[in-house]
Amino acid sequence: MSNIEETLIIKSEAEDGSLKGRVWMESKKIWRIAFPAILARMALFGVILVTQAFVGHMGALELSAFAVVQTILVRFVSGVTLGMSSATETLCGQAFGAGQYHMMGIYLQRSWIVSTSAATIFVPVFIFATQIFKLLGEEDDIATEAGIISLWFIPVLYSTVFSSTMQMFLQAQLKNFVIIWLTVATFAIHVLLSWILVYLLNYGIPGAMVAMNISFWLLVFGEFVYILRGWCPDAWRGFSKAAFSNILPVIKLSISSGVMICLELWYNSVLVLLAGYMKSAETAIATFSICLNIATWELMIGLGFLVAASVRISNELGRGNTKAAKFSIKVILSTGTFIGVIFSVVCLFWSHPIAYVFTSSEEVAKSVSSLSIPLAFSVLLNSIQPILSGVAIGAGLQSVVAYVNIGCYYMVGVPIGALLGYVAHLEVKGIWIGMICGVAIQALSLLFMTWRTDWEKQVTSASERLNRWLLNAPDQESNQSLIQNSE
């Protein structure tokens, strides 16, 4: 089905005039985007989680080393690259809503240029990981082991640049189920590869990391084939030199997007770094990492709704329909909050048995169990905060959210976590409480910002942005040249 047909179907849906009917119709549109996005993100994060589980059963040192690399270095660099990639979500979503389908492929190519360049700048961070961690005060054993593991993440860094941008490109067109098939297949292959290389062939950490790299690049290959082989005929018109034109405004939007996302991801990294200065560093890092992974696993649901919010808001702003955009925000927030309550209850009562998925240590499992209450609050917030960020991405308000993140996370959350962890001697629990305070204030700030936003002005801004960067489609250029020749 073409993009034009998809849009006509959406526009022609006969909505019931009652509130119940409107909620039902909007919920269908939301879940059509969110459900595939949730499954895709769970599968992709599952690749990391499976790798960490295999590494974690090799020993506490290996688990701690993997945790600091994945939670500090990978989050640090991915925060920039994935954040810059989120500009693709804004531009493609608004272009699709406005019917400017041919521009989506050009935006995708521009994002590859910008994000790949950014990723290359950060490669030395992985090469000199041992020295960086020692400089940050991590224990020598953890820093040395982390330096070995970090080199395996360099190919993963580049694969996530391509896979994330292509997923945003496809999601903006509502082509979500192809992402499900590709990511679920990637996860299944990864589990099998990890078992073969780690347990059957006994390759240890290299085996786990090779399996992870193969899995991520298989996903990229599948997405490339789908897009380049003609399954997106309206949005992908082939590689174009136009991708190199008007690239400076894209860089500016990408940087503001990068700052917004990376400040969120770095927040957890700073807290894991603080955990590394505790007396029992290995246990503290392992505990915090496991809790963070449990929360992040549930966060994949929130990120699925982030995608739904971003796509719905950007599509409606592209169409100029502010009422539909505001109604969609209300429905998504209500749905996300309900799901968050359910999962927070699960974490409150079953955090101890869940911990054994990631570790064989009774000490670490008990430490995780002691954090069940703050973990439950984190899970609840993870169901609300991403939706508000998705609204901001859909409206192109990333730069404003970046300032909110600085204030809430780094001027409130980190200081409170440090005080409770070290001064009040609550250790990991204190750090986690600080994280909750930062996220809670950020969510309230974004909620207030969303309520106060002038959506008519956002429609005008979206229209101006799209028209400023609009290029004629190849078939339009051909028709114009034929007319000129005939004259």
- Check pLDDT > 90 for residue 7: no
Confidence of residue 310 (pLDDT cuts 50, 70, 90): confident
Gap between the Cα atoms of 395 and 461, Å rounded: 9
CA atoms within 13 A on the CB side of 55: 29
| Tokens describing residue 76 | 């640090």
Which string of b and e fits 280-301 if b means at least 16 CB within 10 Å? ebbbbbbbbbbbbbbbbbbbbb
- Whether residue 291 contacts residue 429, with contact meaning beta carbons closer than 8 Å, is answered with no
Cα–Cα distance measured from residue 361 to residue 358, given in angstroms and rounded to the nearest whole number: 9
DSSP state of 132: H
Distance, in Å, from the CA atom of 176 to the CA atom of 21, rounded to the nearest integer, reads 24
* pLDDT tens-digit readout, 249-261: 777 767 766 666 6
So what's the pLDDT on residue 210? Answer: 94
What is the DSSP annotation of 312-342? HHHHHHHHT-HHHHHHHHHHHHHHHHHHHHH
For residue 429, pLDDT over 80 is answered with no
Q: The whole model's pTM is what?
A: 0.72
Rounded to an integer, the average pLDDT of 59-75 is: 81
| Total Cβ atoms within 10 A of residue 4 | 11
pLDDT band per the 50, 70, 90 thresholds, residue 15: very low
Give dist(CA 69, CA 74) in Å, integer. Answer: 6
pLDDT at 404 over 70: yes
pLDDT of residue 179: 86
pLDDT at 263: 66
- Which whole-number Å values give the CA distances from 200 to 194, 207, 208, in the listed order? 9, 10, 12
Kindly tell me if the per-residue pLDDT of 202 is higher than 60. yes
Q: Collapse the DSSP code of 359 into the 3-class scheme (helix H, G, I; strand E, B; otherwise coil) and give the result.
A: coil
* Residues comprising the chain, all counted: 487
SS3 at position 156: helix
Overall average pLDDT of the 395-424 stretch: 81
Query: CB of 78 within 8 A of CB of 160?
Result: yes
- Residue 389 · residue 343 · CB < 8 Å: no
Cβ count within 10 A of residue 410? 15
CA atoms of 329 and 432, how far apart (whole Å) = 29
| Mean pLDDT within 209-214 | 94
The residue type of 242 is A
